[in-house]
């Protein structure tokens, strides 16, 4: 099963992707996690993207193409994978379509987590407080100013993917404002339906 999770920063894509990894046995490909790992390791790629990520902008489509194409060639992606926040521009969507076509594969479904932007900002505040209380590090781009910038970037550059995938007949919308369990069961219903096709 090849699945894309679409939705603004803080919508819960990562939480849901982690659960799908457990229930469906396909890996989660989060370009955000891969880029943060590159920064952590001090690699040339990490050095190149750090300032861009810190200010909440998108890294180039070329960088994403490199990391995605290398990753989906790995053996654990043979059964499928979840692209979690990994497709954020029309150029990236076209690239993923192209790469999959070359491998004689195709996307099964794109699930959009629909959420309310103001509510996401409130949730961010809670997430920061919880992380601090637990002594966990807070992401450099998880502060209100950069978070709002990331929302604007989503609106401008990523939201156009909604009509893109609608046209392909691949888009399914889920209300992302429910509890983690409610969102999970809505996603499960869609994945069960697709698995049965």
Which letter does DSSP use for residue 56 in this model? T
CB of 106 to ligand AMP, least distance (A): 19
Binding letters toward ligand AMP, positions 50-79, x by CB under 6 A: --xx--xxxx----x---------------
For residues 57 and 64, give the distance between their C-alpha atoms in angstroms, rounded to a whole number. Answer: 13
**Closest-CA residue to 85 (of 171, 11, 190):** 11
- Partnered with residue 141 across adjacent β-strands are none
Site membership for ligand AMP, residue 88 (CB under 6 A): yes
CB of 192 to ligand AMP, least distance (A): 26
- Answer for the pair 107, 170: CB distance below 8 angstroms, yes or no: yes
Site membership for ligand AMP, residue 82 (CB under 6 A): no
Binders of ligand AMP among residues 18 to 57 (CB under 6 A) are: 31-32, 35, 52-53, 56-57
Q: How many Cβ atoms sit within 10 Å of the Cβ of residue 164?
A: 17
Which letter does DSSP use for residue 157 in this model? I
Which residue's CB is nearer to ligand AMP, number 154 or number 171? 154
Residues that bind ligand AMP (CB under 6 A): 9, 31-32, 35, 52-53, 56-59, 64, 85-86, 88, 92, 141, 150
């Amino acid at each position: 099963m090849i699945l894309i999770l679409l939705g603004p920063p803080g919508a819960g894509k990562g939480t849901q992707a982690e659960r799908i990894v457990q229930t469906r046995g396909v890996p989660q490909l989060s370009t955000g996690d891969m880029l943060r790992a590159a920064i952590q390791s001090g690699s040339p790629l990490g050095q190149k993207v750090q300032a861009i990520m810190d200010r909440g902008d998108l890294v180039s489509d070329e960088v994403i193409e490199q990391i995605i194409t290398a990753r989906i060639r790995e053996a654990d992606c043979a059964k499928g994978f979840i692209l979690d926040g990994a497709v954020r521009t029309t150029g990236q969507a076209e690239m993923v379509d192209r790469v999959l076509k070359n491998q004689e594969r195709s996307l099964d479904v794109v699930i959009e987590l629909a959420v309310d932007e103001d509510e996401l900002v409130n949730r961010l505040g809670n997430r920061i407080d919880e992380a601090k209380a637990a002594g966990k590090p807070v992401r450099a781009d998880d502060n209100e100013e950069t978070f709002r910038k990331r929302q604007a970037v989503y609106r401008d550059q990523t939201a156009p993917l909604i009509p893109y995938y609608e046209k392909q007949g691949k888009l399914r919308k889920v209300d992302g404002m429910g509890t983690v369990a409610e969102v999970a069961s809505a996603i499960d219903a869609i994945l069960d339906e697709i698995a049965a096709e």
